[in-house]
Amino acid sequence: MGIENMTVLICDDSLLARKKLVNFVKSLGVKSVVEAGDGEASISVYKNNLPDVTFMDIVMPKINGVDALKQILEINPDAKVVMASSVGTQANLKEAINAGAYDFLQKPLEEDQVKAIIEKLAK
């Protein structure tokens, strides 16, 4: 597929966290990056763009990340959704993995981990 041909969706209610990740992902060569500021928006943005990978914060307004993940997987059972949480509780992790998350990252996100996931999915 190639990194430049990927579409990446970034869902986080923190504008700062979102912008930082958007800029980093673009620096890797991804040309198409779409954003959502809450769980509800992430579902419609997913539907409209069908991204190759989604980075989803767990703690978000309207619909939390785990519930948004479940709805995204109903749209596309093969969706690659990487959950991110600063809470990092075992319950969140377990719930996200059980719901079908592709991976799980601890916030603040390590750029190396984000890069590794994107490179793996670009192959």
Nearest-angstrom CA–CA distance, 55 and 84: 7
Whole-prediction pTM: 0.95
Is the CATH number of domain 3-122 3.10.20.740?
no
CB 119 within 8 A of CB 3: yes
Nearest-angstrom CA–CA distance, 24 and 10: 11
User: Per-residue confidence of the chain (123 residues) as pLDDT tens digits?
Assistant: 799 999 999 999 999 999 999 999 999 999 999 999 999 999 999 999 999 999 999 989 999 999 999 999 999 999 999 999 876 566 787 888 999 999 999 888 999 999 999 999 999
Q: What is the DSSP letter of 3?
A: G
